[in-house]
Amino acid sequence: MMIKNKKGRTAIQTVKIGTIAIEKTACLAPMASVADRAYREICKESGAAYLVSEMISAKGLTYGDKKTRVLCEIAAEERPMALQLFGEDPDCVGRAAAMLGEFQPDAIDLNMGCPVPKITGQGSGSALMKNPALAEKIARAAVLHAACPVTVKIRAGWDEQQKNAVEFAKMLEQCGVSAVAVHGRTKTQMYSGRADWEIIRAVKQAVRIPVIGNGDVGTAQDCAAMYAQTGCDLVMIGRGSYGRPWVFSQVREFLQSGRILPEPDYKERLAGMLRHAERICLYNGESKGIREARKHAMWYIKGMPGAAAFRNRAATLNSLDELRQMAEEILCAANRRGRE
């Protein structure tokens, strides 16, 4: 039941994953090479209710890899946040889950949905949906050794002939998993076509644990529609946040008041792009950071005047000053078009 206050705004409900209370607005999906600390913080500041880290290799962690340990670090501003593990060996995943206790994650998420060949070729990610027996051993090992709730992210299935998300989710619930996130595409779809929201609804009806819906949510209206059509407990946004972290504030406002916040104007978008790039460089150093910022810059300027040419420049940026200069030129081009 929705409760409205005197100003007619709907109170934000919460969903519990284990002992964690999460606002029922929208959370940020785990995205390798995208959802780093800078990206997560920007989205959190924009209203993301919950964050999940980039994929962390269970083998890398147990073998003492320094780069893997960096991925496990959580800033206070990011909470509540989960650390996402991937791996195909139950013993290794169990040991890694125990080791993550050092970083005090609010939850540990197991990746059983990544469709990238480099991951599935190892028998991990969405390849586990073809091997429920192994997936069960991995889930039980993580639940046994973790000092926090364990969640699992899955897909609709391997392909159209093997859409087993419902049976898979029921198995995970029996393992003691605290929540399951479902991306409505199969592994073979990768990120093409449409996400099947019906499979998310079917999973929600089949299990008692919270279900997080993911796939084809790019606007506040999409988010509300997913809640309505699937009955899911929380909505997860991934690619819909590319260059648009403010989508999380739009979701919150729409769910509270029904009001659709306008898209930021070009000046605001470019200012957001620069803040994001500066933070990336703060955490990684300018030389490495600006290379990482290139793809984000291309997402931020999508649809702006002269975007095609500016995207080509963004792909070769070598400094923050170059990015600032490009932002000025884009704004000038937009102002000229506005006067025409």
List the catalytic residues. Answer: 114
Q: How far apart are CA 238 and CA 59, in angstroms?
A: 26
Q: Around Cβ 120, how many Cβ atoms within 10 Å?
A: 19
Pairing outcome for strands 234-237 and 26-28: parallel
Q: Which phi and psi angles does 148 have, rounded to 5°?
A: -150, 175
From residue 238, give the alpha-carbon distance in Å to each of 38, 157, 183, 189, 248: 15, 19, 10, 16, 11
Residue of 39, 41, 36, 15 whose CA lies nearest to 26:
15
Amino acid found at 150: V
Amino acid found at 8: G
Place of tokens 């998993």: 177
Q: How far apart are CA 333 and CA 18, in angstroms?
A: 51
- Let me know: does 241 contact 216? Beta carbons within 8 Å: no
Residue 13 buriedness (CB in 10 A; 0-12 / 13-18 / 19+): middle
Alpha-carbon radius of gyration of the chain: 20
150 has which bridge partners?
108
Q: How far apart are CA 200 and CA 184, in angstroms?
A: 6
Q: Which two tokens stand for residue 44?
A: 């959190």
- Let me know: does 296 contact 280? Beta carbons within 8 Å: yes
Q: Which phi and psi angles does 133 have, rounded to 5°?
A: -65, -45
Cis peptide before 80 (omega within 30 of 0): yes
